[in-house]
Amino acid sequence: MNTPKQDSADAGLSALLRQSRTSPPLPPRFQENVWRRIESREHRREEAVMSSLVWLDVLVQQLLRPRWALASLAVLVVAGAIGGAANSSVAVRNQAQARYLSAVAPSSIH
């Protein structure tokens, strides 16, 4: 257990150590420079985000021009037609299989 004599000695030693610790003075305008660096990093981060979105903006601007808009629409229509045809061919095949099975073995379906 700590006795009151040890506690006062520890407190005195702690005070002596705090006094002996020297902290170097901060450079002039230290706080102002810190805030300037923080602001510049935030500005650089915003520029990085903006530069990554620039290509998307350019692409949208190109696609909104009449000739590119028409070409884009044509590509989307053709892609939709191909996708629909592929999907319908699977449905037609499944329907044909079901009809064949009902013709060959009508009792096995139900």
Q: Read out DSSP for the chain?
A: ---HHHHHHHHHHHHHHHHH---PPPPTTHHHHHHHHHHHHHHHHHHHHHHHHHHHHHHHHHHTSHHHHHHHHHHHHHHHHHHHHHHHHHHHHHHHHHHHHHHH-GGGT-
For residue range 65-90, list pLDDT tens digits in order: 888 888 888 999 999 999 988 888 88
The answer to whether residue 7 scores a pLDDT higher than 80 is no
pLDDT for 91 equals: 83
- Give percent of the chain with pLDDT exceeding 90: 11
Confidence (pLDDT) at 14: 85
pLDDT at 16: 82
Confidence (pTM): 0.34
Q: State yes or no: pLDDT of 1 exceeds 70.
A: no
Question: Where exactly are the structural domains of the chain?
Answer: 33-64, 66-110
